[in-house]
């Protein structure tokens, strides 16, 4: 019996667990380790903040999903992975030995800027963000990527005064202009080309010679690898993400898989890519257990971006194409709700009740 350890309840592991629920795998014992028994779905987070969804609507029950997949759920966080000894160490001191491990632990928010760690609230973990977020306040957001822009407009929709610092736009010029217009139309104090150089207590944001005090500073500076990956012994890319081969296996340790934000696949960090990787992971983990052929993952350079604009309105973009409207929000709402229904086993439940009839 092979011991398969799943670290993190990210998008790809959610797909894998759904697959195991539908088609159990004999010859392996699955254990899922993740810190939260109920997990917030990132794509619906701006909608929770804007007030379109109740928190429960954007959460799924990790323990219940694991149970449906015949996996043991262990609430906890990895603080170390010893790839040479094939053992994971949890924050509470427990050790979990494995034969195969799959990492889908996401990323943390990059906070190397002086004072960011001490005086700003990072986007991750989302569970902590929603508990500490202030609405009746002047909020600064550092980072003008998709998540920074979405949060800025969601907070404006709830009445906050919002200043958005964006050192550089990650979008193609036409899309960047579209997003900038959307931000300004909603009254976000958007500061393109302005880098938040430091954060001091107050909290005060220092940008060049300018010092400005806010009620709260949110840090949305993009993804960075979890610190413990550095000491894992796994091969990593120059940013510190786990290097994988075409089958999503670590290039240095054949019994380790890595998917989603924590893996270096050459794609942008996005839930859409993580879900696609999950489909291949579901096949390849089965193949690794049964010692059959693994299949390659084919990276897609461009994922669909649906960026919500506070109200029920969104910008849709893929590659050089972009458009906007209420229809884009309803499209995203349909995609996200369908995904949540899948994770809650609602489709499965329907199947079961049909079988009973």
Ligand X SMILES: Cc1cc2nc3c(=O)[nH]c(=O)nc-3n(C[C@H](O)[C@H](O)[C@H](O)COP(=O)(O)OP(=O)(O)OC[C@H]3O[C@@H](n4cnc5c(N)ncnc54)[C@H](O)[C@@H]3O)c2cc1C
Q: For binding to ligand X (CB under 6 A), which residues are involved?
A: 7-12, 33-36, 39, 42-43, 45-46, 77-78, 104-106, 123, 147, 150-151, 226, 260-261, 269-272, 274, 306
- Looking at beta carbons only, is 89 or 206 nearer to ligand X? 89
Given the complex with ligand X, which of 150 and 180 has the nearer CB atom? 150
CB of 189 to ligand X, least distance (A): 19
* 199 vs 343 by CB, closer to ligand X: 343
Neighbours of 168 (CB within 10 A): 11
Nearer residue to ligand X within complex by CB, 25 or 316: 316
CB 43, min distance to ligand X, A: 3
The residue (of 37 and 206) whose beta carbon lies closer to ligand X is 37
Among 254, 27, 10, CA closest to 124: 10
**Backbone torsions φ then ψ of 257, nearest 5 degrees:** -110, 150
Toward ligand X, which CB reaches closer, 105 or 244? 105
Residue-wise DSSP of 58-91:
GEEEHHHHHHHTT-EEEE--EEEEETTTTEEEET
DSSP bridge pairs for 249: 257
CA angle, 134 then 136 then 139, to 5°:
60
* Least distance from ligand X to the Cβ atom of residue 171, Å: 14
CB of 351 to ligand X, least distance (A): 25
DSSP state at residue 346:
H
Q: How far is CA 210 from CA 187, 204, 205, in A?
A: 21, 10, 8
Considering the complex, what minimum distance in angstroms separates the CB of residue 129 from ligand X?
9
* Residue closest to ligand X (Cβ): 260
Q: Are 87 and 95 in contact (CB under 8 A)?
A: yes
Nearer to ligand X, 46 or 310 (CB): 46
Which residue, 204 or 224, is less far from ligand X as judged by CB? 224
C-beta of 354: minimal distance to ligand X in Å? 31
Contact 42, 271 (CB under 8 A): yes
Smallest gap from Cβ 239 to ligand X, in A, equals 14
User: Shortest gap between Cβ of 210 and ligand X (angstroms)?
Assistant: 26
First-to-final CA distance of the chain = 36
- The whole-angstrom separation of Cα 139 and Cα 219 is 11
DSSP string across 194-256: ----EEETTTEEEETTEEEE-SEEEE---EE--GGGGGS---B-TTSPEEB-TTSBBSS-TTE
């Amino acid at each position: 019996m092979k011991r398969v350890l799943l670290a993190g309840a990210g998008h790809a592991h959610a797909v894998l667990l759904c697959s195991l629920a539908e088609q159990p795998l004999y010859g392996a014992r699955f254990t899922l380790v993740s810190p939260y028994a109920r997990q917030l779905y990132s794509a619906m987070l701006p909608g929770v903040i804007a007030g379109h969804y109740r928190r429960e609507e954007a959460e799924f029950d990790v323990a219940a999903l694991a149970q449906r997949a015949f996996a043991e759920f262990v609430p906890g966080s990895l603080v170390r992975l010893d790839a040479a000894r094939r053992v994971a160490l949890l924050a509470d001191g427990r050790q979990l030995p494995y034969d195969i491990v799959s990492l889908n632990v996401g990323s943390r928010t990059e906070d190397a800027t002086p004072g960011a760690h001490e005086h700003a609230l990072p986007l991750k973990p989302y569970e902590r963000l929603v508990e500490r977020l202030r609405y009746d306040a002047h909020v600064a957001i550092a980072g003008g990527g998709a998540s920074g822009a979405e949060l800025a407009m969601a907070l404006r929709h709830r009445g906050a005064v919002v200043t958005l610092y964006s050192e550089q736009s990650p979008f193609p010029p036409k899309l960047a202009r579209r997003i900038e217009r959307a931000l300004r139309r909603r009254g976000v104090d958007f500061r393109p080309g302005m880098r938040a150089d430091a954060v001091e207590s107050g909290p005060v944001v220092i940008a060049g010679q300018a010092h400005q005090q806010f009620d709260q500073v949110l840090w949305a500076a993009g993804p960075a690898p979890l610190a413990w990956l550095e000491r894992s012994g796994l091969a990593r890319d120059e940013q510190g993400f786990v290097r994988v081969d075409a089958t999503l296996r670590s290039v240095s340790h054949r019994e380790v898989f890595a998917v989603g934000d924590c893996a270096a696949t050459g794609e942008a960090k996005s839930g859409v890519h993580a879900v696609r990787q999950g489909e291949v992971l579901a096949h390849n983990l089965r193949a690794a257990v049964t010692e059959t052929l693994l299949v390659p993952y084919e990276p897609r350079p461009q994922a669909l971006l649906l960026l919500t604009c506070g109200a029920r309105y969104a910008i849709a973009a893929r590659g050089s194409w972009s458009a906007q409207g209420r229809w884009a929000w309803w499209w995203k709402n349909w995609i996200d709700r369908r995904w949540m229904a899948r994770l809650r086993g609602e489709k499965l439940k329907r199947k079961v009740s049909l079988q009973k009839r």
